[in-house]
Chain A
Amino acid sequence: MAEIESFKNSDKDLQKVEFTQVDQPGSVGFFGHAKGFWVTFSTIFKKPETVEYPEVKAPTQERFHGRHQLNRHPDGLEKCIGCELCAWACPADAIYVEGANNTEENRMSPGERYGKVYQINYLRCVFCGLCIEACPTRALTMTNEYELADDSREKLIFEKEDLLGPLRAGMLMPPHPMYPDMTDTNYYKGDVTQAHPSQDVNK
């Protein structure tokens, strides 16, 4: 404590700071230049790395952090339970979620709860992927899609419809009931592989 008190700004005389001379590098000489230009020269004979984007689109690395996707169970029900752990994990406050109660007439996901509102603000998102790590149901993953430029702020707030993955073979568009005799635990274990005919309530 005493040491901190005795230290005052006035003790430090900026005028008295000594500057030391740093040795400047001398000439590299002819061989030095030749070695440097050799990189340039040898590149002339290599295949160019330039990609004619947007006409040509090179694939990204497999684990590239691109646009998010909200996944579905194999019968089409949504995996998202609206728990907001992604929003909690997000360091940029880019995710907004509102949960809601599943009912027998309006079932969007297995279990009690689903994500009613799901928004990601791509003006804020830093693509760190912490949301993906936080997701307890693997509902949220990232795709490799990186073309996310647009001309207004509104368009860059992606809604649930924009983020939901497509319906694949064997899936039914929710809301629909759960697979007969299956619980939400069965869904998470992967026991449901495709929709059951009885789930097609719109037919």
Chain B
Amino acid sequence: MTTSAIVDMITVVIDGFEVSVPKGTLVIRAAEQLGIQIPRFCDHPLLDPVGACRQCLVDIEINGRAFPKPQASCTIPVEPGMIVKTQLTSAVADKAQKGVMELLLINHPLDCPVCDKGGECPLQNQAMSTGRTETRFEGVKRTFEKPINISSQVLLDRERCVLCARCTRFSDQIASDPFITLNERGALQQVGIYEKQPFKSYFSGNAVQICPVGALTGASYRFRARPFDLVSTPSACEHCASGCDMRTDVRRGKTLRRLAGDDASVNEEWNCDKGRWAFKYVTAVDRLTHPLVRNGAGVLVQASWPEALAAAAKGLKENTSAVLVGGRATYEDAYGYSKFARVGLGTNDVDFRSRLSSDEECEFLAAYVVRTSTTYRDIDRADQVLLVGFEPEEESPIVFLRLNKQFRKRALKVTAIASKLSIGVEKLKGDFVKVAPGQEAAAVAKQTLNAKSIILVGERACESAGLLTAVAALADSTGAKIAWIPRRAGERGALEAGAIGNLLPGGRPVADAAARVDIAAVWGVPSLPTTIGRSSDEIFAAVNAGTVGALLVGGVDPLDGLHSDDALRALDKAFVVALEIAPSEVTMRADVVLPVAAITEKSGSFLNWEGRARSFDAAVHDSLNRSDLRILSMIAQEMGTSLNLGTVTAAAKEITSLGAWDGERATMTSVSPAQAPSVSGDQFILTSWRRLLDLGTLQQGEENLAGTARQTVAVISPGRAKSMGVVDGELLKISTSHGSVTLAALVEDIHDDAIWAPRNSRGSQLLVNLGIGHGDVVTVVKI
């Protein structure tokens, strides 16, 4: 409903008070507007009404004709002339509610002391407000075996369930993962799973969060704390670019759980299981606590801060240096890296893309992404959505939920250009345009869109030459909006902060002299470097060639790139200053290691794919770790230059003072698509993406979460399977000159020339194992 549309307002009387609400509003919502709380369990504003729990009974009269019995206020929309009496003014409604509560409590166990929901339980609260003080029930309560695992991370206590069907409705209506349902009838009715298909939803945590009793609980939070132990901090999710609003609950300096926050314009009230449960990486690993400096004997030893900073400054000053910042940095930290490269090191060699990337992408980002804003709201209004190099459910789950919402609401047309039909697109009943890996550009060019359409471009689009050119051309010719959705939370912020070779902060092109003057004036430096900076891969190559001598590396996994051998060799060779939270491939090879604060220990913000700021405060306050920004300022100081970015607030202020670039936008040079490699015999073209739950660094230490990861399989088409004589489950060996992986086969809808495998799952780390990316040829044999 748009704000400009004329809305029919209906006036009703609730408990003697008049209230005007839009037509179609439920009585329970109208009462909320007056501040009248009607007790409820099954009602949820984002789920379809069901009237399952009967707790919200009220007396209703329409134009003088009363309903013979109390009605469930969560299923009845307001009508003109309606007079509603809630438990506050109607003895009948009050008695009905008390009766329902008594019935609900008959079979509810008295195990609140061992129940995780105790203290924040709607049933407890409403039993206090609406229930009797003493039970009249003398029989034996119905019991079930408890608890049962409905997945490795969700536990079900069936005897606590009040059969509100929130969990089953969520799974069905919001996530489209209908693996749980209500079984049996009467007193034995219970939530059950479909035995052949376990409850492996990426969104199962939401069912736990909206359960109004302790029937569904999370395995990792089980028995860990009570609500009064926890200090809650509003936060933002650091896992992907969806930008969920979150709440982090900390007990004694340790994060115990994270819940989805309520932001109607972004994640509504949902989030994905990764955002909810993958937070132990901060505590599971041995954190770096002290600076380390490589001594004369080549061993990393503990050092004091002044000593380490001096060593870092000396090494960076004496060499030609470059900056590599991973896609996980906050907006402010990325700005710090960007400014440090230009002011401290006098170079534009800074790149946030610690993954597969291309120069075409660089130009695409400068020309079509930076400073633009396509939003979730645009998805709500789009007439069709084109997915290019993007698998929403795996790579940005909240975007998937939004697409799914619009698909369910108004059959939003979704078209996916890919080699393999993904589970997410299947759920969205999307048009699957099947292309051979690397040949996406031609398919994009054939699409018919209009100005109301949206093209969602994933970060993987850069892996197919010419694809971004085709996307840009399509958007130019049709007026469709482009939204670039990277996987990592910090990438959009880093782009806006200019942590990339061809852009300065605020989307100012490096090549534009006026833009350089702009920034130089604010930064108080005479001039800025003019040469366009290199990409991560080029920087590593330059180190190996001897033209770059030192690297400042923050939050980068060198194994995420296509040329990981080159990257490791470069890290071995160069003087490396590493800013990290825990020991890694980079810190092992670094000359100076500086420990930094994890997300929970610092404040800051991320820009999600929309470019919307998602700011957060420190959840843990007694940490001694400093943010990247602070440490960069200290190194700069030591080098004799000044960043003047002591705090996040200072950085945020400076970013605001820079403002947006109002000059010419950079343009893009077209890149033509690569020729399709010819495959024959046992050859396939590889296509892959990362799954939501895989071997990602930020998912370390969370076994329960890993238990719901999708199976690692190699997907081939029915035609090829037949010719190879392969059926589901048989092992396939995928090999290149670099190495091989052996995976179970799965025959699915995929291009005949293509084979799909997850990029970073257990047993299938393709970049490391095979050393190739999207669109390259592999040899596959059945074993």
Asked if A165 is at the interface of the complex by the 8 Å CB criterion, the answer is no
Chain A residues near B223 (CB-CB < 8 A): 82, 99-101, 112-113
Chain B residues near A137 (CB-CB < 8 A): 113
For B113, the closest partner residue in chain A by CB is A83
Asked if B147 is at the interface of the complex by the 8 Å CB criterion, the answer is yes
A111 with B226: CB separation less than 8 A: no
Asked if A75 is at the interface of the complex by the 8 Å CB criterion, the answer is no
Chain B residues near A127 (CB-CB < 8 A): none
B228 with A88: CB separation less than 8 A: yes
- Could you say which interface size class chain A belongs to? 10 to 19
B147 with A84: CB separation less than 8 A: no
CA gap between A191 and B430 in the complex, in Å: 62
A82-95 vs B, CB cutoff 8 Å, 1 = contact: the mask equals 11110110000000
Chain B residues near A101 (CB-CB < 8 A): 222-223
B228 with A99: CB separation less than 8 A: no
CA gap between A201 and B114 in the complex, in Å: 26
Asked if A81 is at the interface of the complex by the 8 Å CB criterion, the answer is yes
Chain A residues near B146 (CB-CB < 8 A): 112
Chain A residues near B226 (CB-CB < 8 A): 84, 87-88
B113 with A88: CB separation less than 8 A: no
Asked if A162 is at the interface of the complex by the 8 Å CB criterion, the answer is no
Asked if A170 is at the interface of the complex by the 8 Å CB criterion, the answer is no
CA gap between A113 and B155 in the complex, in Å: 14
Asked if B224 is at the interface of the complex by the 8 Å CB criterion, the answer is yes
Chain B residues near A98 (CB-CB < 8 A): 224-225
Q: In residues 75-132 of chain B, which contact A (Cβ within 8 Å)?
A: 112-114, 118-119
Asked if B229 is at the interface of the complex by the 8 Å CB criterion, the answer is yes
Asked if A197 is at the interface of the complex by the 8 Å CB criterion, the answer is no
CB-CB under 8 A for A83 and B224, given A112-B147, A136-B113, A137-B113: no
CA gap between A181 and B304 in the complex, in Å: 61
CA gap between A98 and B254 in the complex, in Å: 13
B118 with A83: CB separation less than 8 A: yes
CA gap between A85 and B229 in the complex, in Å: 12
CA gap between A112 and B115 in the complex, in Å: 10
Q: What's the minimum C-beta distance from B322 to chain A, rounded to whole angstroms?
A: 47
Q: In residues 163-190 of chain A, which contact B (Cβ within 8 Å)?
A: none
B201-229 vs A, CB cutoff 8 Å, 1 = contact: the mask equals 00000000000000000000011111011
For B219, the closest partner residue in chain A by CB is A101
B145-174 vs A, CB cutoff 8 Å, 1 = contact: the mask equals 011000000000000000000000000000
For B119, the closest partner residue in chain A by CB is A88
A112 with B114: CB separation less than 8 A: yes
CA gap between A82 and B228 in the complex, in Å: 14
CA gap between A111 and B225 in the complex, in Å: 18
A83 with B114: CB separation less than 8 A: yes
Q: What's the minimum C-beta distance from A190 to chain B, rounded to whole angstroms?
A: 17
For A111, the closest partner residue in chain B by CB is B114
B229 with A84: CB separation less than 8 A: yes
CA gap between A98 and B112 in the complex, in Å: 16
A81 with B114: CB separation less than 8 A: yes
CA gap between A111 and B229 in the complex, in Å: 23
Chain A CB within 10 Å — which of B118, B119, B146, B226 has the most?
B226
A99 with B224: CB separation less than 8 A: yes
Chain B residues near A87 (CB-CB < 8 A): 226, 229
Q: What's the minimum C-beta distance from A29 to chain B, rounded to whole angstroms?
A: 61
Q: What's the minimum C-beta distance from B546 to chain A, rounded to whole angstroms?
A: 56
For A136, the closest partner residue in chain B by CB is B113
Chain B residues near A82 (CB-CB < 8 A): 223
CA gap between A101 and B218 in the complex, in Å: 13
Chain A residues near B119 (CB-CB < 8 A): 88
Chain B residues near A88 (CB-CB < 8 A): 119, 226, 228
CA gap between A85 and B114 in the complex, in Å: 10
Q: What's the minimum C-beta distance from B780 to chain A, rounded to whole angstroms?
A: 43
CA gap between A77 and B522 in the complex, in Å: 69
CA gap between A117 and B317 in the complex, in Å: 52
Q: What's the minimum C-beta distance from B118 to chain A, rounded to whole angstroms?
A: 7
Chain B residues near A100 (CB-CB < 8 A): 223
CA gap between A113 and B223 in the complex, in Å: 7
CA gap between A64 and B112 in the complex, in Å: 30
Chain A residues near B225 (CB-CB < 8 A): 84, 98
Q: What's the minimum C-beta distance from A45 to chain B, rounded to whole angstroms?
A: 57
Q: What's the minimum C-beta distance from A131 to chain B, rounded to whole angstroms?
A: 13
Q: In residues 94-134 of chain A, which contact B (Cβ within 8 Å)?
A: 98-101, 111-113
CA gap between A56 and B95 in the complex, in Å: 63
Q: What's the minimum C-beta distance from A137 to chain B, rounded to whole angstroms?
A: 7
Chain B residues near A136 (CB-CB < 8 A): 113
A58-86 vs B, CB cutoff 8 Å, 1 = contact: the mask equals 00000000000000000000000111110
CA gap between A85 and B226 in the complex, in Å: 9
Chain B residues proximal to chain A, CB less than 8 Å = 112-114, 118-119, 146-147, 222-226, 228-229
12 contacts between A and B (CB under 8 A): A81-B113, A82-B223, A83-B112, A83-B118, A84-B229, A85-B113, A87-B226, A98-B224, A101-B222, A101-B223, A112-B147, A136-B113
Further pairs besides A99-B223, A101-B222, A112-B147: 4, Cβ < 8 Å = A81-B114, A84-B229, A87-B229, A112-B146
